[in-house]
Structures are given as C-alpha cells and as structure tokens.
C-alpha cells in the first residue's frame, strides 16, 4: 500500500509570466483587451440557463459573421483543425468520391481527412500561391460524375492566396455536389457569404481575424448537409464530433432542460468568443473587411520599399495574410525572424512545406490590423535587415 511518505516531492516553479509579443504571424493574432478580461468572469455550469442564453447569442453572432441563417451553426469546442474534421467525418462516408482542390498545406490536410473517413480523394493540384482554378474543377467533375463532395480552402494560410468561393460552389452545385470550405483565416477578414454562395459546410478558427483566444472553431452546415448527416448509412467515426449528438446541445431555446448534455463546454473560452463576436458586430463586417484591406495596402507599400516581393498575384492576395519573399542577398531568414522576436518582441511566420525557408507570412488579423502595428512591424524589419 502506498505511503504518503513515498511520494516524490512536487516541482517548484514561479507563476508563469509570458513576454509581451506583437503577434504578426499566421495566428494566433493579438487579442482584444476586453476579450482577455472576459475570461476572468465567474464560471457558470454548462447547462446553466444564463450560459444557455449566452450560447444562443454566440450562435446568432456567428450566423452574422458567416452571413447565414443556417440553423446548424455553432462552435466546436476545439481548434479549427477540429472544425475541419467535424465537416469531413460527418459528411464523408466510406467509398464516396471527394474532389479536393489542393493549393497549399491545408488543402493537403483535407485529403488526409478524406482518406481517414474511408473516402476516395480526387486531387486537383494547383501551384502554391495560386488560387483554385474553377476550370480545372469543372473538367474534373465531368470526368468524375459520381463525386459527392467538393472541398477547397477559401483562404489558404500557408500561401496567402484567396480562391473564388462563390464560383467554385456554383460549379459544385451544378454537378449536385456538397461543398466543404476552409475559411479559418478568411472569416472576418475578407468577404464571405455562406448562404448566398451555397456553401454546405464551412469552418473557421477563433484565433485569426476574430482576435479571440485559440481553441474554438465556428462552423455552419446547410440544411442539405444536415439532411445527409441525419441519413448516413454508417455511424460517424468520431463520437465527440458526431453532429447527430452535438446539434442537440446547440439547439435554440433558453431553458437548460431543453438542451441535451453532450460535453462540458469550454465556458470561459466561450465568454471570450462572445465578446470577440460582439466587437465584430459592433464594427460591422463591411468595415472590418475594409480595415483589413487598408492595413494590407499600408504594409505592402512599406515592404516593397524595403525590397520584399509578394508570392501571390495582386487580385488573389489575402489582406490578412501577407506571404512575401525577402530581399535578394538575405540567406538565413530564420536568424532574422529570431532577431525580430528576441530584440523587437515581434513574431512573423515562416514558410510551410515547399515554401519553408523561402517566405515570411506576415499577419494582419482582427485587432492586430491597425496602423500602429504596421508601422512597428516595418520599423523592426528595417532594423534587422
């Protein structure tokens, strides 16, 4: 029998005090002060009527952000990657053919999800830094008439490229396919009209243009998608992400007794998202989109003056995620990023995959998209190069 005297002594650490960094990478983004403050509010039970009322408000504001009235709009209690998996495990059944438009790292993750669901991926590869090609999609759909789903990334975080989600969904709908759309970096930063564009499943993340803490994934599913989920021939392979179970927790209604318990929601994190969404609603989507665009143009001018060039052609650039080649003659970009972090408390992102060591990814997201941050970023970069 264990004696208390046998327990090894606990390690002793001081309270953790993180440095103040200016986050201008691909995410997380700087967080609104009032969002951080909301985390300290008293924790409620996840079926408390007051918390349920707040959940309804989060749902309504999320519908505004996505520009949809889809009833199945809610928050996955996990990061954007779990939002992605929620879409695939619920909509893809074994043996079903899924066209995936891959033009960066996150299109590649879609392929992996299709495979793990037992689906058959048909991959359309695009050059990294280019948007998804609608003509290639139509050609592939004609050659694969049994396709059930088309999946693509609206705002590719690894390259800073935006694709024409409206046109891609229009083509997919013409061929009677459902659509799965990644807008983790897009939501709140560029125009997005989920219902008008006939998007069937879309997911995002709390830590990008919403300027909330990491760890939550807003999602929305069309009635067509919800119908498919309810009529699946096989069980959803994930219990935690099975929308047949989760949707009962996010149904409308203010009484705790009307909600079916599924899991303990991250209560304080949802307080933070409520505040972040409230601030987005207060600013207005159009104003938020314009602000991101204006700050991008300011950053672009300064970077070009320093000799940087952009990976993505102008019509397809994400204003909130700027992928840039460093000036000629600079060989070790990692050392420069380290200097920015340690000497100027500024974080910018490295390239991923095939672009590793070749580009920087500079984020202008949400609360971080302001003139002061752009100027601070440009001044720091000028000093280190």
The answer on pLDDT for 289 being more than 70 is yes
Degrees to nearest 5, angle at CA 259 with 254 and 260: 175
Kindly state the average pLDDT of the residues 73-87: 96
Tell me how far the alpha carbon of residue 130 is from its chain's centroid: 19
Distance (Å, whole) CA 132 – CA 176: 19
- β-pairing, 178-182 vs 201-203, is parallel
Query: Cα separation of 156 and 263, whole Å?
Result: 31
Kindly indicate the confidence band of residue 253, based on its pLDDT and cuts at 50, 70 and 90.
very low
- The domains found in the chain, sorted by start residue, are 22-29+285-384 (3.90.1150.10), 34-280 (3.40.640.10)
> Where residue 379 falls among pLDDT bands split at 50, 70, 90?
very high
How high is the pLDDT of residue 256?
Answer: 44
Pick the more confident residue, 287 or 249: 287
Q: Which of 19-28, 45-54, 82-91 has the lowest mean pLDDT?
A: 45-54
Share of the chain above pLDDT 70, in %: 97
pLDDT for the residue 251: 64
Contact predicate 191/270, CB 8 Å: no
pTM value is 0.95
Residue 254 has pLDDT above 60, yes or no: no
Q: Is a pLDDT exceeding 90 seen at residue 39? A: yes
Whether the link from the prior residue into 303 is cis, omega within 30° of 0, is no
Going from the C-alpha of 327 to that of each of 26, 309, 336, 367, the distances in angstroms are 20, 7, 12, 28
Neighbours of 66 (CB within 10 A): 23
Q: What CA–CA distances, in Å, run from 214 to 107, 110, 374?
A: 21, 21, 22
44-54 mean pLDDT: 91
Q: How far apart are CA 45 and CA 27, in angstroms?
A: 30
Q: Cα angle at 121 between 118 and 127, to 5 degrees?
A: 145
Q: Is the pLDDT of residue 310 over 80?
A: yes
Tell me the mean pLDDT in the region 112-119. Answer: 98
Percent of the chain with pLDDT over 90: 88
Least confident of 216-225, 256-265, 336-345: 256-265
Looking at residue 8, its pLDDT comes to 87
- What is the mean pLDDT of the segment spanning 60-72? 97
pLDDT at 252: 53
Averaged over 65-94, what is the pLDDT? 97
Instruction: Give bridge partners of residue 181 from the DSSP assignment.
Output: 152, 202
Closest by Cα among 148, 140, 190 to 296: 190
Confidence of residue 126 (pLDDT cuts 50, 70, 90): very high
User: 339, 306, 338, 343: which is closest to 322 by C-alpha?
Assistant: 306
pLDDT at residue 262 greater than cutoff 90: no
pLDDT of residue 4: 73
| Nearby residues of 129 by Cβ (< 8 Å), 6 or more positions away | 103, 159, 160, 161, 311, 312, 323
Give CA–CA dist 315/192, Å, rounded. Answer: 16
Is the pLDDT assigned to residue 261 strictly greater than 80? Answer: no
- Structure tokens, 73: 């709009």
236-239: list long-range contacts, CB under 8 Å, 24+ apart.
236/89, 236/90, 237/89, 237/116, 237/117, 238/85, 238/89
Task: State yes or no: pLDDT of 1 exceeds 90.
Answer: no
Give 145 or 251, the one with higher predicted confidence.
Answer: 145
pLDDT higher than threshold 50 for residue 237: yes
| Mean pLDDT of all residues belonging to the chain | 95
Predicted confidence at residue 255, as pLDDT, reads 45
Q: Which of 27-36, 48-57, 104-113, 318-327 has the weakest average pLDDT?
A: 48-57
């Amino acid at each position: 029998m264990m004696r208390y005297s046998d327990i090894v002594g606990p390690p002793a650490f001081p309270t953790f005090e993180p440095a103040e960094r200016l986050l201008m990478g691909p995410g997380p983004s700087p967080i609104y002060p009032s969002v951080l403050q909301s985390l300290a509010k008293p924790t409620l039970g996840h079926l408390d009527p007051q918390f349920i009322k707040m959940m309804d408000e989060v749902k309504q504001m999320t519908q505004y952000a996505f520009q949809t009235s889809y009833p199945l709009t809610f928050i996955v209690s996990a990061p954007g990657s779990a939002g992605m998996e929620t879409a695939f495990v619920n909509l893809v059944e074994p043996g079903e053919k899924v066209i995936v438009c891959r033009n960066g790292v996150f299109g590649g993750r879609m392929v992996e999800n299709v495979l793990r669901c037992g689906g058959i991926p048909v991959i359309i590869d695009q050059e990294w830094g280019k948007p998804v090609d609608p003509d290639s999609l139509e050609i592939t759909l004609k050659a694969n008439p049994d396709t059930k789903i088309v999946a693509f990334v609206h705002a590719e975080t690894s390259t800073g490229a935006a694709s024409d989600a409206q046109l891609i969904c229009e083509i997919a709908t013409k061929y009677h396919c459902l659509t799965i759309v990644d807008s983790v970096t897009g939501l709140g930063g560029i125009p997005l009209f989920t219902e008008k564009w006939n998007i069937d499943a879309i997911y995002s993340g709390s830590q990008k243009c919403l300027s909330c803490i990491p760890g939550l994934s807003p999602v929305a599913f069309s009635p067509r998608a919800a119908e498919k989920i309810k009529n699946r021939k096989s069980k959803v392979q994930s219990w935690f992400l099975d929308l047949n179970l989760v949707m009962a927790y996010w149904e409308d209604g203010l009484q705790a007794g009307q909600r079916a318990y599924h899991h303990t929601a991250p209560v304080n994190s949802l307080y933070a998202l409520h505040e972040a969404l409230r601030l987005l609603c207060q600013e207005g989507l159009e104003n938020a989109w314009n602000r991101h665009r204006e700050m991008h143009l300011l950053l672009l001018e300064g970077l070009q003056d320093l000799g940087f060039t952009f990976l993505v052609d102008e019509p397809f650039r994400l204003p909130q995620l700027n992928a840039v080649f460093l000036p000629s003659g600079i060989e070790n970009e990692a050392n420069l990023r380290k200097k920015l972090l340690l000497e100027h408390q500024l974080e910018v992102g490295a390239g991923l995959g095939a672009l590793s060591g070749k580009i920087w990814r500079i984020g202008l997201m949400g609360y971080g998209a302001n003139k002061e941050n752009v100027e601070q970023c440009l001044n720091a970069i000028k000093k280190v190069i």
